[in-house]
Amino acid sequence: MERIGFIGLGVMGKSMAGHILAAGHPLVVYTRTREKAEELLARGAVWAESPAALARSCQVVITIVGFPEDVEQVVLGDDGVVASMQPGTILVDMTTSRPDLAVRISEAAAERGGQALDAPVSGGDRGAREAALSIMVGGPRDAYEQVLPILQLMGQRVVYQGPAGSGQHCKMCNQIAVAGNMLGVCEALAYACHTGLDPQVVLESISAGAAGSWAMTHLVPRMLAGDFAPGFFVKHFIKDMAMAADAAADLGLDLPGLQLVLCRYRQLAELGYEDDGTQALYRLYQAEGQEIPWRADRSVRPEDPQ
């Protein structure tokens, strides 16, 4: 069994690493806050003092961190993975990041005699817990085939997309589709509330028809319960949509729907909800008469111009 290194034990990473450990792979972990690793360490994982130390002892290194700048530091920094990876090592970055950065990482890994894959995921905290993620993979095909059994421990659907950067481009497609869907379900709920309908009854009716979606099934019940705990952070979704918007602009592609949803989520973050889950967009659409817990140090309201 390959010794696998795992960097990033956040909302999703901790569960993903746990599946690898449960399958019997020797697991080495690193995260900026060691307390997040304690449960895995108690189950037999080994702690590494730095990304470089982890890379020196592992045949496969998986990273899933917050932002592209975090990827650059952890992977390409002086004390990062690539600088210390051994020949033959395969790096799998599962962070949603920039396609051009994925290409740079692939080139840097090749110079060290290793290979790199960009393999962002979709499915949120629930998909991570249930090993039901959708994983989109770019990079060398032979590296993909080597690590496919490992990826299948974390995901229900693992699809090879093409050369380096292709996984990230596919994730941009995913986030563009998710953005429009989130706006749609929130506006549908707002309409239901304003017309006096019971939103729970509406959900029962429309989720089984053409309006049905993952967000409708899994996130709308959270919205209605006032549960805005993060399965996927608002701030990370803003990051993803901004990257997609930039990539679309580089292609000369006009995506007004994406721009609208990005604007609305930035508005939500300005209200202080950037650490909520993406379902918190519903806060901007709650029916009149429902109290929204505005932050005391903010005077802005959803109807105010930004």
- Give residue 186's domain range: 169-285
Give the model's pLDDT for residue 170: 97
Q: How far is CA 6 from CA 55, 57, 162, in A?
A: 9, 12, 24
Continuous H helices in 44-140: 51-56, 68-71, 81-84, 99-111, 124-129
In-domain check, residue 305: no
Same domain, 156 and 37: yes
Q: Where residue 279 sits, what CATH number does that domain have?
A: 1.10.1040.10
CA dist., res. 267 & res. 149, Å (int): 41
| One-letter-per-residue 3-state SS of 265-279 | HHHHHHCCCCCCEHH
Give the model's pLDDT for residue 124: 85
Across the range 267-289, mean pLDDT stands at 87
Give the model's pLDDT for residue 166: 98
- Helix (H) or strand (E) segment spanning residue 250: helix 234-250
Give the model's pLDDT for residue 2: 86
Catalytic residue annotation: 171
Same domain, 29 and 139: yes
CA dist., res. 17 & res. 27, Å (int): 8
Domain count, the chain: 2
Location of structure tokens 């020797």 = 26
Same domain, 158 and 190: no
Across the range 35-40, mean pLDDT stands at 95
Which two structure tokens, joined as six digits, stand for 27?
A: 């697991």
In-domain check, residue 110: yes
- What is the per-residue pLDDT across 198-243, written as a single tens digit (0 to 9) for each? 999 999 999 999 999 999 999 999 999 999 999 889 999 999 999 9
CA dist., res. 60 & res. 114, Å (int): 10
Same domain, 91 and 110: yes
Q: How far is CA 289 from CA 136, 194, 196, 198, in A?
A: 43, 10, 12, 15
Considering 137-146, 191-200, 277-286, the range whose residues carry the highest mean pLDDT is 137-146
Please report which confidence band the pLDDT of residue 292 belongs to, taking 50, 70 and 90 as the band edges: very low
Across the range 74-103, mean pLDDT stands at 96
Give the model's pLDDT for residue 297: 34
Residue 304 has pLDDT above 60, yes or no: no
Residue 118 has pLDDT above 50, yes or no: yes
